[in-house]
Chain A
Amino acid sequence: MNEPIVEFKNFGFQYNAQAEPTLYDINLKIHKGEKVLIAGPSGCGKSTLAHCINGLIPFSFRGESTGTVTIMGRETKDLSLFEISKTVGTVLQDSDSQFIGLTVAEDIAFALENDCVGEPEMHDRVQKAAQIVNIESHLLHAPSELSGGQKQRVSLAGVMVDDVDVLLFDEPLANLDPATGKSAIELIDEIHKETGAAVIIIEHRLEDVLHRDVDRIVLMKQGRIISDTSPDVLLSSDLLLENGIREPLYLTAIKYAGVKVTEEMLPHSIRSLKLSDDDRGSVVSWFRSTPPRVREENRPYLLRAKNITFSYSSGHRALTDVSVDVRKGELIAIVGTNGAGKSTFSKVVCGFEHEQEGEIEFTGCDWKNMSLKERADHVGYVMQNPNQMLSKPMIYDEVALGLRTRGLSEDEIRPRVEKTLKTCGLWPFRNWPVSALSFGQKKRVTIASILVLEPEMIILDEPTAGQDYRHYTEIMEFLRDLNSEGVTVVMITHDMHLMLEYAERSVVFTDGAVIADDTSAGILTDPDIIKRANLKETSLYDLAVMCGIEEPREFVQRFIDYEREVFRS
């Protein structure tokens, strides 16, 4: 075995601002050419571990460390951030902040510019790096003209111009739609094979990363490494579930069917998974014995958008003849790629933008002449990032803001705010400053600040973006509770798990038009829609096919219904 390229020995770290250490007793070796996945719930220390590898610790974040971290045999604290960056290339989660140049070419060249590389050589190397990630036809594009996946490719090219030996990816899937995420994983794999660089991926979406093989999975919890083993060994244990990491859906399904997952079954991917005839039989009989859930009868319409067409003032046509109905009490998802029109549609509904053609009806009333503020009494809009909505230091004031601007007296406001705080589980924190809350709690505050206006319907933009499984579940269960109390919920998302598990129905947008409106299980088992909307087939579908089940769509639906029952009880 060759020398480790990154090595932690009895390493611990505590940030200056924090009372407790973030990392304890880390021992980890990563060898040249290895591909390692580091997984764990939010707050487990995996990002801090990444900072220790790329040198941000100790050079940018201050704190106390014990033990050693070495890169190519030298301790990081004896190197400089710049020297480390020649060995370790980091692709950050937030590709908008990593994209520093005004154009693609300049951004790829950034590290070379800082190295004083001369012009002809620089142009040459930028061209080569751009080719590797397949972005060379966009060299003169500005970041605003690129999709999330393309920006990430630029970030990758930007670190690859330096021939680094370690590529570090911090949550590479967080901001990508399913199909783009899949091709990102494929690209990382190709680069890994071509360059022989060690690849470290930090991600909690295990199933998506395992779309291509990895050598090892390092599982972290509360600042410690609790497992460092091959994917097959880890997936045949119960460690993932115990630690709040979602296991691949196909494994959950075969476990429901009573099949025991073992290392020999090669469970790391649906393609490698080996099921015996008995196992297949168990899955089929589980499917036959799970009753289909009775659907509720149709409730009255709440919102009817008919034949909406909308173009921005720049002339860009964003919506073409879009019709969407939402019934009272539904919980639905609007899905599609960036720029497909799903956000524009919700802006038109809320009155932020005005349709040129078509009409919107709400509980039977024509909304043509309703102002933004009047519509807000019926439809609330919650932005993706709570930090972009919070403007008051105290929770109570934030929630009361919408009522105050509507001119209500403090006597009228108090009971409504208090009731909303209770509904949203924020009552214990009512006298806290907003800044003391976690991301998920802030999200609740923004939802509360909308709910206080008592809208019949709320629209949420990417409600769970960037959240780990535990926080995701927390937010979504909260939304489901709200929904069961009668609030109609519309979610804009490209998270397939979210639509599959929580949305009864999904509306799919592509290029400004609605191309499908069906149950989520129906959509995620329809290869044509999946392709056109940049979605990804669910592995449950493959599992159904593998077991010879003739109605894979029904299999997926029953799995979701079953899981919902399990979760409730």
Chain B
Amino acid sequence: MRNIFNYIDRPSPVHRLTGATKFICLLLWSFAAMSTYDTRLLVLLTVLSFVLFYISKIRLRDVSFLLSFMAVFMILNNILIFLFSPQHGVTLYGTCHELFSLGGRYVVTKEQLFYHLNLVLKYFATIPIVLLFVCTTNPSEFAASLNRVGVRYTIAYSVALALRYIPDIQKSYHEISQAQQARGIEMSKKQNLVKRLKSASTILIPLILSSMDRIDVISNAMELRGFGKGKKRTWYMARPFKAADIAAMAVCALLLGASITLNVINGGRFWNPFV
């Protein structure tokens, strides 16, 4: 099962970019979206991300489960922020335009709503890009990409190993958990927390200790085939950069540049329409 990360193999311009390009773009893009609260740029990023999503031929139903999960997360986070800090927008923007009151300190202001709008835009500007990365990057290319962006190959390879052994470990977990449940181990809500954690440990201990044994076997197998001998290594799945890769990285770099420039022009991370 290589599909824990939902890789969907379809021919599209986004798929054709190398993994390294997509990884760099993901980083540039998410930092651009993270650093700014300038609504104009966030709208631009959102529109662009939707366009890219369309080009990549990923269909909504491919990712509907993940999207609904993120939607719940986003709504909860917004509600939490409002509950904890209903006047956060007022503090950030320095003005106060009251709209209506929900009682007590919960007075809804234009500033607060505008802040929430920006938060939601940030989600819309990044989620499609992360999904895109996940759905169009072959996991096999991932380690090679990390190495290419300057991560030491040994560490990049530990990421590859994690991806390789996740399905195996997931399967063992499932089998161990079934066998232990037959012996009466329960993790249901009926028990108190401490008991539940102890029950969980009777499944985790065999899982983790047997994984520790594997570490030795795997590292022997790797050394027997020459892993770790040189300062460098090549990658079977690596592909050379093409013009489209350079262009994609340039565009993303520009977006990050724009984000930083706007922060300087706005004198902070917030674009303030209230003054």
Contacts and interface: CB of A to CB of B under 8 A. Distances in A.
B65 to A, nearest CB: 13
Interface of B: 1-2, 139-140, 160-161, 163-164, 167-168, 171-172, 175-176, 178-186, 201-203, 205-207, 209-210, 213-214, 217-218, 220-230, 232-238
A60 B223 contact: yes
The prevalent SS among residues of A at the interface is helix
A117, A142, A450: most-surrounded residue (chain B CB, <10 A): A142
Given A106-B140, A142-B1, 13 more contacts: A56-B224, A85-B223, A102-B139, A102-B140, A113-B234, A114-B227, A116-B234, A144-B171, A373-B181, A373-B182, A375-B182, A391-B206, A402-B184
Contact of B1 (A101, A144, A383, A453): A144
Nearest to A387: B210
B237 A81 contact: no
A109 interface: yes
Contacts of A116: 230, 232-234
A487 to B, nearest CB: 16
Contacts of A142: 1-2, 167
Nearest to B240: A119
Contacts of A352: 178, 181-182
Most B Cβ at <10 Å: residue of A56, A99, A380, A389: A389
B207 A388 contact: yes
Interface in A338-397: 347, 350-352, 372-373, 375-376, 380-381, 383, 385, 387-392
Most chain-A Cβ atoms within 10 A of its Cβ — which of B181, B214, B235? B181
Nearest to B213: A387
Sort A-B residue pairs by CB-CB distance and give the 5 closest, nearest first: A405-B184, A109-B236, A114-B226, A376-B182, A402-B183
B178 A389 contact: no
Interface residues of A, number: 66
A96 to B, nearest CB: 7
Nearest to A121: B234
Contacts of A372: 178, 181-182
A97 interface: yes
Interface string A110-124: 111111111100110
A498 interface: no
Contacts of B230: 114-116
Contacts of A126: 236
A383 B175 contact: yes
Contacts of B163: 102
A389 B206 contact: yes
Given A102-B163, A110-B225, A114-B225, A96 B168 contact: yes
A92 B234 CA distance: 24
Given A144-B167, A385-B210, A102 B2 contact: yes
Nearest to B222: A100
B179 A97 contact: no
A388 B227 contact: no
A504 B264 CA distance: 83
Given A106-B236, A373-B182, A381-B182, A401 B223 contact: no
A56 B236 contact: no
Contacts of A347: 178
Nearest to B1: A144
A450 B171 CA distance: 22
B214 A97 contact: yes
A12 to B, nearest CB: 22
A82 interface: yes
A178 interface: no
A184 to B, nearest CB: 18
Quick one: which of B175, B217, B232 has the most chain A CB within 10 A? B175
Interface in A449-467: 449-450, 453
A389 B181 contact: no
A351 to B, nearest CB: 8
Nearest to B230: A116
Nearest to A122: B236
B221 A388 contact: no
A472 B104 CA distance: 76
A118 B235 CA distance: 9
A309 interface: no
B178 A85 contact: no
A113 B232 CA distance: 9
B214 A390 contact: no
Contacts of B183: 376, 401-402, 405, 449-450, 453
A543 B181 CA distance: 48
Contacts of A375: 182
Given A373-B182, A405-B186, A406-B184, A388 B206 contact: yes
A102 B168 CA distance: 12
Most buried by A among B1, B139, B164, B230: B164
B179 A381 contact: yes
A204 B176 CA distance: 30
A552 interface: no
A154 to B, nearest CB: 12
Which one of A92, A110, A126 has the highest number of Cβ atoms from chain B below 10 Å of its Cβ?
A110
Contacts of A236: none
B220 to A, nearest CB: 6
A248 interface: no
Contacts of A81: 223-224
Given A81-B223, A97-B214, A383 B179 contact: yes
A120 to B, nearest CB: 11
Nearest to A375: B182
A114 B181 CA distance: 44
Contact of A85 (B168, B224, B233, B235): B224
Given A56-B220, A96-B168, A391-B203, A117 B184 contact: no
Nearest to A406: B184
Nearest to A82: B229
A388 B176 contact: yes
A366 to B, nearest CB: 20
A100 B186 contact: no
A102 B160 contact: yes
A149 interface: no
Contacts of A373: 181-182, 184
Contact of A97 (B205, B221, B223, B234): B221
Nearest to B176: A388
A105 interface: yes
18 contacts: A60-B220, A85-B223, A85-B225, A99-B164, A102-B139, A102-B140, A103-B140, A110-B227, A115-B233, A144-B2, A350-B178, A373-B184, A383-B179, A385-B210, A387-B206, A388-B172, A389-B179, A391-B201
A524 to B, nearest CB: 29
Interface in A29-88: 54-56, 59-60, 80-82, 85
